[in-house]
Amino acid sequence: MTGNNSRHYQALIIGLLIFGLTLPLSKSVSSIIMGLIYVYSFAVVFYYKDFRTTVTCNIKQPLNIPISIYIFTVLLGLLFSEDLSEGISVIKRVSNLLLVYLIVSVLISAEQDEEKRFRNAEYVLLFFIAGIFILDMLGLLTYYGLIGNKRFALPLRPLNMHHIWFGNLNAIGLYVAACLLLFSPHIKLFPMAIFIWFFIFIDAISVLLSTSRTAWVGIIFTAIVFSYFLIKNKRTFFIAAGSIVVGCTLLYLFNDIVHARIEQVFSDFSLLFSGVTSTSIGARLMMWKAALEMFLTNPIFGVGTGNYRSTGYELVRLGRIPDIILRYNQPHNMYLFTLATNGLIGLSALLFVFYRIFKLVKTLIKPLQRERLFGFMALSVAVHFMIAGLTEALMNIHILICTFAFIMGVSMRRPYIKGGKV
Protein backbone atom coordinates (compact mmCIF):
# COMPACT_ATOMS: atom_id res chain seq x y z
CA MET A 1 0.00 0.00 0.00
CA THR A 2 1.15 3.51 -0.73
CA GLY A 3 0.14 7.08 0.04
CA ASN A 4 -3.19 7.68 1.77
CA ASN A 5 -4.07 3.98 1.71
CA SER A 6 -0.92 3.13 3.64
CA ARG A 7 -1.53 5.80 6.28
CA HIS A 8 -5.15 4.78 6.79
CA TYR A 9 -4.21 1.11 6.92
CA GLN A 10 -1.57 1.75 9.58
CA ALA A 11 -4.14 3.69 11.61
CA LEU A 12 -6.51 0.72 11.44
CA ILE A 13 -3.77 -1.72 12.46
CA ILE A 14 -2.97 0.53 15.43
CA GLY A 15 -6.67 0.34 16.25
CA LEU A 16 -6.46 -3.46 16.23
CA LEU A 17 -3.44 -3.33 18.54
CA ILE A 18 -5.35 -1.16 21.00
CA PHE A 19 -8.38 -3.45 20.73
CA GLY A 20 -6.20 -6.48 21.51
CA LEU A 21 -4.68 -4.68 24.51
CA THR A 22 -8.02 -3.55 25.95
CA LEU A 23 -10.00 -6.72 25.21
CA PRO A 24 -8.96 -8.46 28.47
CA LEU A 25 -9.23 -5.25 30.49
CA SER A 26 -12.51 -3.54 29.66
CA LYS A 27 -15.68 -4.58 27.83
CA SER A 28 -16.79 -0.98 27.29
CA VAL A 29 -13.43 0.37 26.11
CA SER A 30 -12.74 -2.54 23.74
CA SER A 31 -16.28 -2.28 22.33
CA ILE A 32 -15.80 1.43 21.67
CA ILE A 33 -12.46 0.76 19.98
CA MET A 34 -14.02 -1.93 17.78
CA GLY A 35 -16.86 0.44 16.86
CA LEU A 36 -14.38 3.16 15.89
CA ILE A 37 -12.41 0.68 13.77
CA TYR A 38 -15.58 -0.23 11.86
CA VAL A 39 -16.59 3.41 11.35
CA TYR A 40 -13.09 4.34 10.17
CA SER A 41 -12.96 1.30 7.88
CA PHE A 42 -16.29 2.15 6.24
CA ALA A 43 -15.19 5.76 5.74
CA VAL A 44 -11.89 4.78 4.10
CA VAL A 45 -13.57 2.13 1.94
CA PHE A 46 -16.12 4.71 0.80
CA TYR A 47 -13.61 7.43 -0.12
CA TYR A 48 -10.70 5.40 -1.54
CA LYS A 49 -11.28 3.04 -4.44
CA ASP A 50 -7.93 1.21 -4.11
CA PHE A 51 -8.56 0.51 -0.45
CA ARG A 52 -12.10 -0.61 -1.27
CA THR A 53 -10.72 -3.05 -3.85
CA THR A 54 -8.21 -4.44 -1.38
CA VAL A 55 -10.86 -4.96 1.31
CA THR A 56 -13.30 -6.49 -1.19
CA CYS A 57 -10.67 -9.03 -2.24
CA ASN A 58 -10.25 -10.12 1.39
CA ILE A 59 -13.82 -9.93 2.64
CA LYS A 60 -14.41 -13.62 1.95
CA GLN A 61 -12.80 -15.38 4.90
CA PRO A 62 -12.91 -19.12 5.76
CA LEU A 63 -15.17 -18.89 8.82
CA ASN A 64 -17.65 -16.31 7.55
CA ILE A 65 -20.27 -18.84 6.50
CA PRO A 66 -20.05 -21.19 9.54
CA ILE A 67 -20.23 -18.27 11.99
CA SER A 68 -23.06 -16.63 10.02
CA ILE A 69 -25.07 -19.87 10.05
CA TYR A 70 -24.65 -20.13 13.82
CA ILE A 71 -25.74 -16.51 14.34
CA PHE A 72 -28.72 -17.12 12.03
CA THR A 73 -29.91 -20.01 14.22
CA VAL A 74 -29.75 -17.70 17.25
CA LEU A 75 -31.74 -15.07 15.32
CA LEU A 76 -34.23 -17.75 14.29
CA GLY A 77 -34.69 -18.62 17.96
CA LEU A 78 -35.91 -15.09 18.58
CA LEU A 79 -39.11 -16.07 16.77
CA PHE A 80 -39.82 -18.54 19.58
CA SER A 81 -38.77 -16.17 22.37
CA GLU A 82 -41.25 -14.63 24.78
CA ASP A 83 -38.56 -12.61 26.54
CA LEU A 84 -37.47 -10.43 23.63
CA SER A 85 -35.23 -8.26 25.81
CA GLU A 86 -33.14 -11.22 26.94
CA GLY A 87 -33.18 -12.68 23.43
CA ILE A 88 -31.84 -9.48 21.89
CA SER A 89 -29.17 -9.36 24.61
CA VAL A 90 -28.02 -12.88 23.64
CA ILE A 91 -27.98 -11.94 19.95
CA LYS A 92 -25.88 -8.85 20.67
CA ARG A 93 -23.30 -11.00 22.42
CA VAL A 94 -23.23 -13.72 19.78
CA SER A 95 -23.02 -11.22 16.88
CA ASN A 96 -19.55 -10.29 18.13
CA LEU A 97 -18.36 -13.62 16.76
CA LEU A 98 -18.77 -12.33 13.22
CA LEU A 99 -18.05 -8.64 13.88
CA VAL A 100 -14.71 -9.26 15.57
CA TYR A 101 -13.65 -12.19 13.38
CA LEU A 102 -14.40 -10.35 10.14
CA ILE A 103 -12.65 -7.06 10.91
CA VAL A 104 -9.54 -8.75 12.36
CA SER A 105 -9.16 -11.26 9.53
CA VAL A 106 -9.85 -8.74 6.77
CA LEU A 107 -7.56 -5.99 8.08
CA ILE A 108 -4.62 -8.31 8.70
CA SER A 109 -5.14 -10.01 5.32
CA ALA A 110 -5.30 -6.63 3.53
CA GLU A 111 -1.52 -6.16 3.84
CA GLN A 112 -0.11 -7.38 0.53
CA ASP A 113 3.46 -7.84 1.72
CA GLU A 114 3.64 -11.32 3.25
CA GLU A 115 6.37 -10.46 5.76
CA LYS A 116 4.55 -7.36 7.00
CA ARG A 117 1.31 -9.32 7.19
CA PHE A 118 2.94 -11.94 9.38
CA ARG A 119 4.51 -9.27 11.59
CA ASN A 120 1.19 -7.45 11.99
CA ALA A 121 -0.42 -10.67 13.19
CA GLU A 122 2.40 -11.18 15.70
CA TYR A 123 2.09 -7.63 17.02
CA VAL A 124 -1.67 -7.98 17.46
CA LEU A 125 -1.14 -11.17 19.46
CA LEU A 126 1.59 -9.56 21.56
CA PHE A 127 -0.66 -6.66 22.47
CA PHE A 128 -3.39 -9.14 23.42
CA ILE A 129 -1.17 -11.03 25.86
CA ALA A 130 0.16 -7.68 27.13
CA GLY A 131 -3.44 -6.86 28.09
CA ILE A 132 -3.75 -10.18 29.92
CA PHE A 133 -0.40 -9.50 31.61
CA ILE A 134 -1.66 -6.15 32.95
CA LEU A 135 -4.83 -7.87 34.19
CA ASP A 136 -2.79 -10.60 35.90
CA MET A 137 -0.46 -8.11 37.57
CA LEU A 138 -3.46 -6.20 38.95
CA GLY A 139 -4.77 -9.50 40.30
CA LEU A 140 -1.47 -10.51 41.89
CA LEU A 141 -0.92 -7.06 43.42
CA THR A 142 -4.38 -7.35 44.97
CA TYR A 143 -3.70 -10.90 46.15
CA TYR A 144 -0.50 -9.87 47.94
CA GLY A 145 -2.17 -6.85 49.52
CA LEU A 146 -0.37 -4.14 47.55
CA ILE A 147 -3.71 -2.96 46.10
CA GLY A 148 -6.98 -2.88 48.04
CA ASN A 149 -7.79 -4.85 51.18
CA LYS A 150 -8.32 -8.38 49.86
CA ARG A 151 -4.97 -9.93 50.68
CA PHE A 152 -4.78 -13.67 49.93
CA ALA A 153 -8.47 -13.68 48.93
CA LEU A 154 -9.41 -16.47 46.53
CA PRO A 155 -10.51 -16.85 43.83
CA LEU A 156 -8.48 -14.18 42.04
CA ARG A 157 -10.89 -11.69 40.41
CA PRO A 158 -9.04 -8.62 39.08
CA LEU A 159 -11.31 -5.76 37.96
CA ASN A 160 -14.20 -7.81 39.41
CA MET A 161 -14.01 -10.27 36.52
CA HIS A 162 -15.71 -13.60 37.22
CA HIS A 163 -13.03 -16.08 38.25
CA ILE A 164 -14.09 -18.67 35.64
CA TRP A 165 -13.85 -16.07 32.87
CA PHE A 166 -10.50 -14.97 34.26
CA GLY A 167 -9.16 -18.52 34.32
CA ASN A 168 -10.27 -19.31 30.77
CA LEU A 169 -8.97 -15.98 29.44
CA ASN A 170 -5.57 -16.79 30.92
CA ALA A 171 -5.71 -20.28 29.42
CA ILE A 172 -6.10 -18.71 25.97
CA GLY A 173 -3.22 -16.33 26.75
CA LEU A 174 -1.11 -19.34 27.68
CA TYR A 175 -1.75 -21.00 24.31
CA VAL A 176 -0.96 -17.80 22.40
CA ALA A 177 2.29 -17.29 24.30
CA ALA A 178 3.34 -20.93 23.85
CA CYS A 179 2.67 -20.79 20.10
CA LEU A 180 4.61 -17.54 19.72
CA LEU A 181 7.53 -19.03 21.59
CA LEU A 182 7.52 -22.28 19.63
CA PHE A 183 6.78 -21.14 16.09
CA SER A 184 7.55 -17.45 15.64
CA PRO A 185 11.06 -16.76 14.30
CA HIS A 186 10.94 -13.21 15.67
CA ILE A 187 9.67 -13.85 19.21
CA LYS A 188 12.49 -16.27 19.96
CA LEU A 189 14.91 -13.36 19.92
CA PHE A 190 15.96 -11.52 23.10
CA PRO A 191 14.36 -9.56 24.79
CA MET A 192 10.94 -10.61 23.47
CA ALA A 193 11.50 -14.22 24.50
CA ILE A 194 12.20 -13.08 28.06
CA PHE A 195 8.87 -11.26 28.20
CA ILE A 196 7.02 -14.32 26.83
CA TRP A 197 8.59 -16.63 29.40
CA PHE A 198 7.82 -14.20 32.21
CA PHE A 199 4.25 -13.87 30.93
CA ILE A 200 3.83 -17.67 30.91
CA PHE A 201 5.05 -17.79 34.52
CA ILE A 202 2.63 -15.07 35.67
CA ASP A 203 -0.17 -16.52 33.55
CA ALA A 204 0.26 -19.99 35.07
CA ILE A 205 0.09 -18.56 38.60
CA SER A 206 -3.03 -16.60 37.66
CA VAL A 207 -4.74 -19.70 36.25
CA LEU A 208 -3.96 -21.52 39.49
CA LEU A 209 -5.25 -18.68 41.68
CA SER A 210 -8.40 -18.35 39.59
CA THR A 211 -9.39 -21.71 41.15
CA SER A 212 -11.36 -22.39 37.95
CA ARG A 213 -11.62 -26.15 37.49
CA THR A 214 -13.17 -25.44 34.10
CA ALA A 215 -9.96 -23.74 32.94
CA TRP A 216 -7.76 -26.40 34.55
CA VAL A 217 -9.50 -29.29 32.80
CA GLY A 218 -9.48 -27.39 29.51
CA ILE A 219 -5.72 -26.81 29.76
CA ILE A 220 -5.00 -30.46 30.56
CA PHE A 221 -6.91 -31.82 27.56
CA THR A 222 -5.65 -29.08 25.26
CA ALA A 223 -2.04 -29.76 26.27
CA ILE A 224 -2.47 -33.44 25.41
CA VAL A 225 -4.06 -32.69 22.00
CA PHE A 226 -1.41 -30.05 21.30
CA SER A 227 1.33 -32.58 22.10
CA TYR A 228 -0.27 -35.21 19.89
CA PHE A 229 -0.09 -33.01 16.78
CA LEU A 230 3.26 -31.44 17.66
CA ILE A 231 5.17 -34.62 18.49
CA LYS A 232 5.48 -36.99 15.53
CA ASN A 233 7.11 -39.81 17.48
CA LYS A 234 4.22 -41.55 19.25
CA ARG A 235 6.44 -43.00 21.95
CA THR A 236 7.61 -39.51 22.80
CA PHE A 237 3.99 -38.32 22.77
CA PHE A 238 2.93 -40.95 25.30
CA ILE A 239 5.83 -39.93 27.52
CA ALA A 240 4.74 -36.29 27.23
CA ALA A 241 1.10 -37.16 27.94
CA GLY A 242 2.15 -39.28 30.89
CA SER A 243 4.24 -36.39 32.20
CA ILE A 244 1.20 -34.10 32.01
CA VAL A 245 -0.87 -36.58 34.00
CA VAL A 246 1.92 -37.05 36.57
CA GLY A 247 2.31 -33.29 36.90
CA CYS A 248 -1.41 -32.85 37.50
CA THR A 249 -1.36 -35.64 40.10
CA LEU A 250 1.53 -33.98 41.93
CA LEU A 251 -0.32 -30.68 41.94
CA TYR A 252 -3.34 -32.41 43.46
CA LEU A 253 -1.21 -34.07 46.13
CA PHE A 254 1.01 -31.16 47.12
CA ASN A 255 -0.79 -27.93 46.17
CA ASP A 256 -3.37 -26.87 48.75
CA ILE A 257 -5.46 -24.84 46.27
CA VAL A 258 -5.76 -27.65 43.72
CA HIS A 259 -6.28 -30.26 46.44
CA ALA A 260 -9.10 -28.26 48.06
CA ARG A 261 -10.87 -27.61 44.75
CA ILE A 262 -10.76 -31.28 43.69
CA GLU A 263 -11.80 -32.49 47.12
CA GLN A 264 -14.77 -30.15 46.91
CA VAL A 265 -16.00 -32.12 43.88
CA PHE A 266 -16.13 -35.33 45.93
CA SER A 267 -17.76 -33.48 48.81
CA ASP A 268 -20.40 -31.96 46.52
CA PHE A 269 -21.28 -35.36 45.08
CA SER A 270 -21.56 -36.79 48.59
CA LEU A 271 -23.95 -34.00 49.58
CA LEU A 272 -25.89 -34.46 46.34
CA PHE A 273 -26.56 -38.10 47.17
CA SER A 274 -27.89 -36.84 50.52
CA GLY A 275 -30.34 -34.58 48.72
CA VAL A 276 -28.37 -31.30 48.94
CA THR A 277 -28.37 -29.46 45.58
CA SER A 278 -27.08 -26.05 46.71
CA THR A 279 -23.42 -26.93 46.06
CA SER A 280 -21.42 -26.04 42.94
CA ILE A 281 -21.74 -29.53 41.45
CA GLY A 282 -25.32 -29.96 42.62
CA ALA A 283 -26.41 -26.67 41.08
CA ARG A 284 -24.74 -27.55 37.78
CA LEU A 285 -26.44 -30.92 37.60
CA MET A 286 -29.82 -29.33 38.32
CA MET A 287 -29.18 -26.74 35.60
CA TRP A 288 -28.21 -29.49 33.17
CA LYS A 289 -31.40 -31.36 34.04
CA ALA A 290 -33.43 -28.20 33.47
CA ALA A 291 -31.71 -27.58 30.12
CA LEU A 292 -32.45 -31.14 28.98
CA GLU A 293 -36.11 -30.74 29.93
CA MET A 294 -36.24 -27.50 27.92
CA PHE A 295 -34.64 -29.24 24.95
CA LEU A 296 -37.12 -32.13 25.07
CA THR A 297 -40.07 -29.72 24.88
CA ASN A 298 -38.88 -28.62 21.42
CA PRO A 299 -35.90 -30.71 20.21
CA ILE A 300 -35.64 -29.06 16.79
CA PHE A 301 -35.75 -25.34 17.59
CA GLY A 302 -35.45 -25.23 21.40
CA VAL A 303 -37.49 -23.02 23.72
CA GLY A 304 -36.24 -19.86 22.00
CA THR A 305 -33.34 -17.46 22.24
CA GLY A 306 -33.63 -15.60 25.53
CA ASN A 307 -36.18 -18.02 27.05
CA TYR A 308 -33.77 -19.99 29.23
CA ARG A 309 -34.48 -18.04 32.40
CA SER A 310 -38.25 -17.64 31.89
CA THR A 311 -38.62 -21.36 31.12
CA GLY A 312 -36.53 -22.10 34.19
CA TYR A 313 -39.00 -20.11 36.31
CA GLU A 314 -41.81 -22.26 34.93
CA LEU A 315 -39.98 -25.50 35.76
CA VAL A 316 -39.37 -24.27 39.31
CA ARG A 317 -43.03 -23.21 39.65
CA LEU A 318 -44.10 -26.72 38.65
CA GLY A 319 -41.76 -28.19 41.26
CA ARG A 320 -39.72 -30.14 38.72
CA ILE A 321 -36.40 -28.33 39.38
CA PRO A 322 -35.02 -26.70 42.58
CA ASP A 323 -35.04 -22.89 42.59
CA ILE A 324 -31.23 -22.75 42.73
CA ILE A 325 -31.20 -22.70 38.92
CA LEU A 326 -32.80 -19.24 38.96
CA ARG A 327 -29.51 -17.69 40.10
CA TYR A 328 -28.04 -18.12 36.62
CA ASN A 329 -28.95 -17.12 33.06
CA GLN A 330 -27.29 -20.20 31.52
CA PRO A 331 -26.80 -23.86 32.55
CA HIS A 332 -22.99 -23.79 32.71
CA ASN A 333 -22.74 -26.01 29.64
CA MET A 334 -22.25 -24.59 26.15
CA TYR A 335 -23.89 -27.53 24.39
CA LEU A 336 -26.89 -27.87 26.70
CA PHE A 337 -27.51 -24.13 26.59
CA THR A 338 -27.60 -24.25 22.78
CA LEU A 339 -29.83 -27.34 22.81
CA ALA A 340 -32.21 -25.75 25.31
CA THR A 341 -32.58 -22.41 23.52
CA ASN A 342 -31.97 -23.28 19.84
CA GLY A 343 -32.41 -27.06 19.69
CA LEU A 344 -30.65 -29.47 17.38
CA ILE A 345 -30.45 -26.82 14.65
CA GLY A 346 -28.47 -24.51 16.94
CA LEU A 347 -26.18 -27.27 18.19
CA SER A 348 -25.47 -28.44 14.63
CA ALA A 349 -24.54 -24.89 13.63
CA LEU A 350 -22.26 -24.49 16.65
CA LEU A 351 -20.49 -27.78 16.00
CA PHE A 352 -20.12 -26.84 12.33
CA VAL A 353 -18.02 -23.82 13.37
CA PHE A 354 -15.62 -26.10 15.24
CA TYR A 355 -15.64 -28.67 12.43
CA ARG A 356 -14.52 -26.02 9.92
CA ILE A 357 -11.78 -24.81 12.25
CA PHE A 358 -10.35 -28.31 12.70
CA LYS A 359 -10.58 -29.01 8.98
CA LEU A 360 -8.76 -25.80 8.08
CA VAL A 361 -6.17 -26.27 10.81
CA LYS A 362 -4.79 -29.27 8.89
CA THR A 363 -3.42 -26.94 6.22
CA LEU A 364 -1.57 -24.84 8.79
CA ILE A 365 0.17 -27.31 11.09
CA LYS A 366 2.38 -28.97 8.51
CA PRO A 367 6.05 -29.12 9.54
CA LEU A 368 8.61 -26.57 8.34
CA GLN A 369 6.20 -23.69 7.81
CA ARG A 370 5.94 -20.72 10.14
CA GLU A 371 2.16 -20.60 9.67
CA ARG A 372 2.12 -23.41 12.24
CA LEU A 373 1.90 -20.52 14.70
CA PHE A 374 -1.65 -19.85 13.54
CA GLY A 375 -2.63 -23.49 13.11
CA PHE A 376 -1.62 -24.60 16.59
CA MET A 377 -3.08 -21.47 18.14
CA ALA A 378 -6.48 -22.02 16.48
CA LEU A 379 -6.34 -25.72 17.35
CA SER A 380 -5.58 -25.00 21.03
CA VAL A 381 -8.28 -22.37 21.48
CA ALA A 382 -10.91 -24.47 19.69
CA VAL A 383 -10.11 -27.59 21.75
CA HIS A 384 -10.14 -25.56 24.96
CA PHE A 385 -13.54 -24.07 24.15
CA MET A 386 -14.98 -27.49 23.34
CA ILE A 387 -13.70 -29.03 26.57
CA ALA A 388 -14.29 -26.08 28.91
CA GLY A 389 -17.68 -25.66 27.26
CA LEU A 390 -18.80 -28.85 29.00
CA THR A 391 -18.98 -26.97 32.31
CA GLU A 392 -19.48 -23.35 31.20
CA ALA A 393 -21.53 -21.73 28.42
CA LEU A 394 -18.50 -19.95 26.95
CA MET A 395 -20.41 -18.77 23.89
CA ASN A 396 -22.73 -16.77 26.13
CA ILE A 397 -19.96 -14.69 27.74
CA HIS A 398 -19.00 -11.45 25.98
CA ILE A 399 -15.28 -11.39 26.75
CA LEU A 400 -14.79 -15.05 25.78
CA ILE A 401 -16.87 -14.71 22.60
CA CYS A 402 -14.78 -11.72 21.52
CA THR A 403 -11.53 -13.46 22.47
CA PHE A 404 -12.47 -16.57 20.49
CA ALA A 405 -13.37 -14.46 17.43
CA PHE A 406 -10.21 -12.38 17.84
CA ILE A 407 -7.90 -15.42 17.88
CA MET A 408 -9.69 -17.02 14.94
CA GLY A 409 -9.50 -13.74 13.04
CA VAL A 410 -5.72 -13.71 13.42
CA SER A 411 -5.36 -17.44 12.68
CA MET A 412 -8.05 -18.47 10.19
CA ARG A 413 -7.34 -16.16 7.26
CA ARG A 414 -7.51 -16.88 3.55
CA PRO A 415 -3.90 -15.93 2.68
CA TYR A 416 -2.79 -18.90 4.77
CA ILE A 417 -5.71 -21.23 4.00
CA LYS A 418 -4.83 -22.70 0.63
CA GLY A 419 -7.95 -23.95 -1.05
CA GLY A 420 -9.88 -23.09 2.09
CA LYS A 421 -13.21 -22.47 0.40
CA VAL A 422 -16.28 -23.01 2.55
* Residues 239-250: tens digit of each pLDDT: 999 999 999 999
81 part of a folded domain: yes
212 part of a folded domain: yes
**Can you give the pTM of this predicted structure?**
0.94
Q: Model confidence over 131-187: pLDDT tens digits? A: 999 999 999 999 999 988 888 999 999 999 999 999 999 999 999 999 999 998 877
Q: What is the pLDDT of residue 421?
A: 38
Q: What is the pLDDT of residue 416?
A: 59
Selection from 285, 263, 283, 278 nearest residue 336 by Cα: 285
**Cβ atoms within 10 Å, residue 273:** 9
407 part of a folded domain: yes
Q: What is the pLDDT of residue 203?
A: 97
Q: What is the pLDDT of residue 4?
A: 66
Cα distances from 50 to residues 3, 20, 39, 56, 155, in angstroms, run 11, 27, 18, 10, 51
Q: What is the pLDDT of residue 57?
A: 84
Reduced 3-state DSSP string for 391-402: CCCHHHCHHHHH
422 part of a folded domain: no
Phi, psi of 363 (to 5 degrees): -80, -10
Q: What is the pLDDT of residue 336?
A: 96
Domain range for 236 is: 3-416
The answer for residues whose C-beta is within 8 angstroms of residue 75's C-beta and 6 or more apart is 91, 305
Q: Which residues of the chain have pLDDT under 70?
A: 1-4, 188-189, 368, 415-422
Q: What is the pLDDT of residue 208?
A: 96
Alpha-carbon distance of 344 to 300, in angstroms, equals 5
The answer for residues whose C-beta is within 8 angstroms of residue 328's C-beta and 6 or more apart is 283, 287
398 part of a folded domain: yes
Alpha-carbon distance of 135 to 276, in angstroms, equals 36
220 part of a folded domain: yes
Q: What is the pLDDT of residue 422?
A: 35
254 part of a folded domain: yes
Phi, psi of 391 (to 5 degrees): -125, 10
421 part of a folded domain: no
Instruction: Categorise residue 272: left if φ over 0, alpha if ψ from -120 to 50, beta otherwise.
Output: alpha
Through-space distance between the first and last CA atoms of the chain, rounded to whole angstroms: 28
Total of domains in the chain: 1
Alpha-carbon distance of 359 to 382, in angstroms, equals 12
Q: What is the pLDDT of residue 375?
A: 94
Alpha-carbon distance of 246 to 252, in angstroms, equals 10
Q: Which amino acid is at 351?
A: L
Q: What is the pLDDT of residue 73?
A: 96
